[in-house]
Amino acid sequence: MFSKILIANRGEIACRVIKTARKMGIATVAVYSDADRKALHVEMADEAVHIGPAPAAESYLVADRIIEACKATGAEAVHPGYGFLSERASFCETLEKQGIVFIGPKPKAIRAMGDKIESKKFAAAADVSTVPGYLGVIEDGDHAEKIAGEIGYPVMIKASAGGGGKGMRIAWSKSEVREGFERAKSEAKSSFGDDRVFIEKFVVDPRHIEIQVLGDAHGNAIYLGERECSIQRRNQKVVEEAPSPFLDEKTRKAMGEQAVALANAVDYQSAGTVEFIVDKDRNFYFLEMNTRLQVEHPVTELVTGIDLVEQMIRVAAGEKLALKQSDVKLNGWAVESRLYAEDPYRNFLPSIGRLTHYRPPAEGEHGGTIVRNDTGVTEGSEISMFYDPMLAKLCTWAPTRLEAIDAMSEALDSFVVAGIEHNIPFLSALMQHPRWRKGRLSTGFIAEEYPDGFQPREPEEDEKAVLAGIAVAIELIRRDRLDRLPGRLAPHSGRVKSDWSVRIGDDYLPVNVTGGRITIPLEIDLAIDGTKPVTIASDWRPGDIVWHGTVGGRRVTAQIHSVLNGIRIAWRGLSVTARAMLPGTAELDRLMPVKVPPDTSRLLLCPMPGLVVSVAVKEGQEIKAGETLAIVEAMKMENVLRAERDMVVAKINVKQGDSLAVDAVIMEFA
């Protein structure tokens, strides 16, 4: 076994590998760029080596600097994590020549499976079912249009060296092929240094289901069940689960055996994933093989009890697999939510800044469920534009799927993140979505269910009652605390006011205090909106961000943020301002004028912090609705900004290469 390994990665996956290495008694070496000098993985490792400037192309992607770090520290092996150099065969070969072990598959397997075009050719030759498509070199936009027409729409345009949804576009018609081809090539070149793309048939209403495989150097290979990864946005996974609610045992076995056969064909020696597209009739087609650890590997670990990172290290050290296929049992259900630094209310555009608050829910077992949080940040961490926007992978396990989903809902509601925008509100709303809860999924789920983007859902009547109850309970505690502060000129006198009115949106809900005590922990009886009294109990104290308690026996976890004359409550995907007032104040509040936001219809505002890739128009130019105005790159993704209607460009305020903040004015219209 190795005595010291280097992790050639950053963020949560570097921290994840360090945890297992520490458990195995192996010393660890972290590498870091200028932007990651104070990162969590640097703090966790036994040693850390600086490898260059912030851009990945000048640090994490420079193989020579990784090798120099190994030699300087005496690291015997390198774990690549995922992304960066994890699927680069030349890196693996260079390590071997230097006598350093690559904790992953051999170059042969990486070359055969790591390239999407070559892997499909290899799979087809091995009689693995593949999606119809064109795997040759596509010369230009005209060639792409011709191929797409021959295959039949819709088609998927994909980067050969791609991953993480980058360099990938769906085209539903001829008019969309050329731009999709150009954007895929451009993203592929900037993200992977390889601009080759291919085109294949896009399966309508597909599910993305993958099989985890594990092989050693002694000819043994097994599969560890499947993961359902169909909840995606822009071809990037958002929520995963294991097992899939769609597969039956027969299909699971067939997919698993086919995945193992493919792994055996390339002498696969490590943890890897064979990805399939599955149609509504459970027909499955090989998509690609990821010759590395997957981002979503924790859900497999939770349902199998197998530490995949440990298995990778043991295989790389030459050990035989200690597991047989018959040893693999799927126990319970696990769900993973990817927490991204992105604004769900601005079409999920990236967000950067400092984490002023970062307080995940407590990990471990909680009443028959398990919470796990794989993360690479802490409170105070800086989220930059240079790397992937993922903050954490929050996972929950429970005996059944709905129990795991409900555990995830509560964990998300208690996960405090501030200082940047994040997608927790969307994830919380998703956990309540009827179609998700029923398991009726496809890769088009988000586009179909949120065609106009995500907005906070409106509370149902019973939810308004819960929110109103929380608002009054908090207001009573707040006032009681103020009344008990020493030195007040007007201390509390008389009984607590029993009649209240809570404004939620345009509604004013009457609330009557019928009994109980205003102490901490609080236990008070409220009649809300004319209903019979319910008991609200909580140990919330002023200043707490998370409110834990019960409302009429219903367990509630919500986040509380102070706003002018009220509180903002985030709960189950709701984001509601609630203002608890005395009835007389509420009558006056009804008379207050409504503030109208400023008109920005004649401005093109930058929707996210990023770099200007290009400006497609000139001052004085007449443009039509749908035309491209500019392209802004953020966190490795190119975002095309289009005209919403016919206009004339009056002024352009930016140029190619400019760095922009959110809401920076890119151009003005006449």
List, run by run, the mean pLDDT of 10-residue segments along the chain (670 residues): 98 98 98 96 98 95 97 98 94 96 96 82 82 82 92 89 79 91 88 86 90 97 98 92 97 95 93 94 91 97 98 98 96 98 86 94 95 97 89 98 98 96 95 96 93 88 96 92 75 75 96 91 94 95 95 95 94 95 95 87 90 94 91 84 90 94 93
Q: Quickly list DSSP for 281-308.
A: T--EEEEEEE-S--TTHHHHHHHH---H
- Residue 376: count of CB within 10 angstroms of its CB: 23
pLDDT at 123: 87
The answer to whether 268 and 109 are in contact (CB under 8 A) is yes
Q: Name the residue among 217, 201, 228, 195 with its Cα closest to residue 303.
A: 228
Give rounded-to-5 percent helix, strand, coil for the chain.
30, 35, 35
This prediction has a pTM of 0.84
Measured in degrees and rounded to the nearest 5, phi and psi for residue 657 equal 95, -10
The answer to whether 141 and 177 are in contact (CB under 8 A) is yes
Token pair recorded at residue 411: 């964990």
Rounded Cα–Cα distance for residues 555 and 410 (Å): 9
Please report, for the chain, how many H helices and E strands are present, in that order.
17, 40
Q: What is the CA radius of gyration of the chain?
A: 27
pLDDT at 117: 76
Q: Which residues are catalytic?
A: 288
Dump pLDDT digits (tens) for 439-474: 999 999 999 999 888 988 889 999 999 999 999 999
**CA torsion sign, 190 to 193 to 195 to 196?**
negative
Q: Name the residue among 593, 588, 550, 586 with its Cα closest to residue 566.
A: 586
The answer to whether 392 and 373 are in contact (CB under 8 A) is yes
Question: Which domains does the chain carry?
Answer: 4-103 (3.40.50.20), 132-201 (3.30.1490.20), 207-331 (3.30.470.20), 338-450 (3.30.470.20), 461-484+496-589 (3.30.700.30), 603-669 (2.40.50.100)
Measured in degrees and rounded to the nearest 5, phi and psi for residue 668 equal -120, 150
pLDDT at 167: 84
Measured in degrees and rounded to the nearest 5, phi and psi for residue 256 equal -65, -45
Dump pLDDT digits (tens) for 271-288: 999 999 998 889 899 989
The answer to whether 558 and 541 are in contact (CB under 8 A) is no
**Three-state SS at 554:** strand
CA–centroid distance for 572 within its chain:
17
| Length of the chain counted residue by residue | 670
Rounded Cα–Cα distance for residues 617 and 609 (Å): 21
The answer to whether 651 and 668 are in contact (CB under 8 A) is yes
Rounded Cα–Cα distance for residues 230 and 244 (Å): 10
CA end-to-end span of the chain = 69
pLDDT at 491: 61
